[in-house]
Chain A
Amino acid sequence: MRPRVKEWKFMLMRIRQNSLALAGLVIILAFVCIAVLAPVLAPPNPADAFKIPRDMEINVLTPNPTPPTMRHIFGTTDQQYDLYYACIWGTITAFRTGLTVVGVSLIIGLLMGTVAAYYGGLLDEALMRFTDIIIAFPGLVLAMALVIAFPATVPINISMIALIIFILAMLMLLAFHPSRKLLLVVWGLLLLSILSMFYFPVSFQIPLSRLDKVLIAITLVGWPGYTRVIRGEVLRVKNEDFVEASKASGSSDFGIVVRHIWPNTVYPLLIVATLDIGSIVLSAAALSFLGIGASPDYADWGQIIQRSSPWINRPTELVANFHTFVIPGIFITLFVMGWNLLGDALRDVLDPTLRRR
């Protein structure tokens, strides 16, 4: 058996022995089931599956929330939005939020962190000082500022796309044919692309939904953390003997990075990413609660709790309508707890100091 496969099998065995990890895994799998079965559990709204349907028949009689009944098993919020539907389809929103932000942050972090650590020098210094700046803000405050600053549509400049594609291509090229001269060329091209923006102002507008803004804001706030973790890991691994050996045997930088360095950074990343999914969903929910997250009829747990916030000044009404925030809150807490339990247990399972000797 290949050592790497053996390693994963060993990890799975440790997870199975750890009751907290198992609990986390079960919770996450339950939510996966809810997300996959959402169209069956709550038939989608024909207009837009993520728009919460309203019960117009009750609406005529009363604008106030209705407690759980057979007709609406979780009850409805004010203006008769169906809570059950919101909770079920909110599961998909939560997975989308967590996985998108973590995925994009990981890709950015892997590219930036690897390049910074592997080549060092000015690029490394500049990148790290930039991450210092973003990490200096409390994440939620910066995300809040970004969400309200984003326009409803983003003008995408042609030269901007060219710039992004160019940088990615150059990073790859750089990895295949490593040379510090090429690194300088990248810097030159970066400057050139920025200059070209002034001469090719042709741009087209991409509409952003309110949830998109939240996702972009949280990603912009979160990627420096990943970059730092990955940089640290690459720095740790890059001077190991097996990397030196691989270099000596003539492997390309790209080969070394993909075959030796990244596989050795995967475990810390796995822990960080797992734990982060929970906190990302919490941040998105918090932004929704402040009223700057998902739009008011979007199936999102935080947004549905936000509907209860007008009653804060009249606590007796909060008690009378407690189902409108308690139920979606249980969904958020369990979802986040599932990822935290798994991530926490992974940390123990993968901790090299606790390994069999």
Chain B
Amino acid sequence: MTSLTAYIVRRLLLLVLVVLGVTVLIFAITMLFPAEIRAYMYIRNVEQARPEAIPRVIQIYGLNDPFYVQYGRWLGNLLQGNLGWSYTSSQSVVEAISSRWVYTFQIVMFAAPIIIFVGIYLGVQSAIHRNGLIDHICRVLSIIGWSLPSFWLGLILISVFSGQLRWVSIGPLSQEGINHVANTALFTRYTGVSVFDGILNAITRADISQLGITLDALAHVVLPVIVIVTIDVALLIRVMRSSMLEALNKQYITTAKAKGLSKNVVIYKHARRNALIPVATLSGMLVAGLLGGLVITETVFAYGGLGAWAARAALSTDITAVLGYAILTAVIFVIANLIVDILYAYIDPRIRLD
């Protein structure tokens, strides 16, 4: 077995272990609730919610069984794609997630590339102009961005751009946009992502005015993306800066300079490539972690994605929904990490040996 295959197999085994651990932890949190409360996770209509019906629900679903029996049953359901019933949204957790992920995706789609490119660019500029004006500006800005509460920044942006200037309303679309999208005679939902659907409808219906939906969706995604980028780009700038400074101090840079290579080749080909390794890992984690940060941002902008849904569920102690969201984010995070690690083990053989 080559070292790369061995590395991937080892990482996959570890991934299974961590994901299993995640499910145990989540189930243990569920078990903090008494059986009477947990019964509500299985109730799907008013009839079953009557107080005298609760003991029957407990009996049917075996909610007083030992931990491992219940865990086994729950894990079996989970593997069949059954994450339980969310009573606040009156649908199963899987349905709720699949109907809302598009909104979250719409924000991540724009925020993630901006964060990564701006973060890397400013980090590199900051490092090569160390202690210069650009460096100081970047550092101060990143500390400010890092210290801002995202919900507060969101509130300020809403009051300025929606309240004072009235440029854009909050939510994923304007009221007219929502009405237009809801009318199946005028608009077809191909992907669920309004930005794409607007373009697709313009093409299939040969009607340029359908692009209005795309523009509408873009206008509504700007403020949430600004908040996410302001908060999250700071970390990337810092890591890129220190990684780049470290790379610039390496001996191969001295060698490259001594060879008479141009400054740009030394900086971008030799130093930046090597400095990108820790940043790539961080970017993978950051993008997966956006899901966590979106809880606040989507709530502030009433965006209706997964994060806002989880936050509203938490407010009414809808434990199935919150834990379903927690499992989803953890699994995405672990898988994103794995992909980044494997890609880099492929590119950089030094990593496999660790």
B78 contacts the other chain (Cβ, under 8 Å)?
no
Please judge, given known A-B contacts A308-B155, A312-B158, A313-B302, whether A137 and B315 are in contact too, CB under 8 Å: no
In the assembled complex, the CB of B20 is this many whole angstroms from the nearest CB of chain A, namely 9
**In whole angstroms, how far apart are the Cα atoms of A285 and B22 in the complex?**
26
Are A145 and B156 touching (Cβ within 8 A)?
A: no
Contacting residue for B329 out of A137, A315, A332, CB 8 A: A137
Q: For the complex, what is the distance from the CA of A137 to the CA of B26, rounded to whole Å?
A: 11
Q: Is A252 an interface residue (CB 8 A)?
A: no
**B310 and A144 contacting across the interface, CB-CB below 8 Å:** yes
Q: Evaluate whether A140 and B292 lie within 8 angstroms (CB atoms) in the complex, with A290-B311, A292-B315, A315-B162 already known.
A: yes
A134 to B17, CA, bound (A): 13
B156 touches A129 (CB 8 A): no
Chain B residues near A298 (CB-CB < 8 A): none
Give the distance to chain A from B96, nearest Cβ to Cβ, in Å: 15
B164 to chain A: closest residue by CB: A319
* B-chain residues with CB within 8 Å of residue A308 when the two chains form the complex: 155
* Chain B positions within 8 Å of A278 at CB level: 146-147
B144 contact set on A, CB distance < 8 A: 333, 337
Binary A-proximity of B143-164 (CB < 8 A = 1, otherwise 0): 1101111111001101100111
Q: Indicate if A10 sits at the interface (CB-CB under 8 A).
A: no
CB-based nearest A residue for B148: A333
* Chain B contacts for A340, CB-based, 8 A: 143, 146-147
When the two chains form their complex, are residues B163 and A337 in contact, meaning their CB atoms are under 8 A apart? no
Q: Would you call the interface of chain B mostly helix, strand, loop, or mixed? A: helix
CB <8 Å contact, B155 and A325: yes
Q: Which of A292, A315, A337 counts the most chain B CB atoms within 10 A?
A: A315
- The stretch of A73-81, A102-110, A147-155 that contacts the partner chain: A147-155
Q: What residues of chain A lie closer than 8 Å to B169, measured between beta carbons? A: 315
Distance in Å: Cβ of B44 to nearest Cβ of chain A: 21
Report the bound CA distance from A206 to B288 in whole Å: 37
Are B314 and A292 within 8 A (Cβ)?
yes
A230 in contact (CB, < 8 A):
no
Pick the contact of A145: B162, B170, B326 (CB < 8 A): B326
- Tell me whether B334 is interfacial, beta carbon within 8 Å: yes
Q: Which residue of B lies closest to A314 (CB)?
A: B163
Across-interface contacts of A309 in B (CB, < 8 A): 155, 299-300
A291 with B155: CB separation less than 8 A: no
B304 within 8 A of A: no
User: Scoring B residues 1 to 31 as 1 if CB is less than 8 Å from chain A, else 0, what string do you get?
Assistant: 0000000000000100110011001100110
Given known pairs A133-B18, A142-B326, A286-B149, the reply for A305 and B155 (CB within 8 Å) is yes
Whole-angstrom distance from the CB of B242 to the nearest CB of chain A? 9
Contact status of A148 and B322, CB under 8 A, knowing A130-B21, A322-B159: yes
A-B pairs, 7 with minimum CB distance: A138-B292, A315-B163, A319-B163, A133-B21, A329-B152, A315-B162, A337-B147
A selection of 19 A-B contacts at a CB cut-off of 8 Å is A137-B292, A137-B326, A138-B288, A141-B325, A144-B311, A145-B322, A145-B323, A145-B326, A149-B33, A278-B146, A278-B147, A286-B296, A290-B296, A305-B151, A312-B158, A315-B170, A319-B163, A326-B156, A336-B147
Task: Give A residues with C-beta under 8 Å from B.
Answer: 20, 129-130, 132-134, 136-142, 144-151, 278, 282, 285-286, 289-292, 302, 305, 308-309, 312-313, 315-319, 322, 325-326, 329, 332-333, 336-337, 340-341, 344, 353
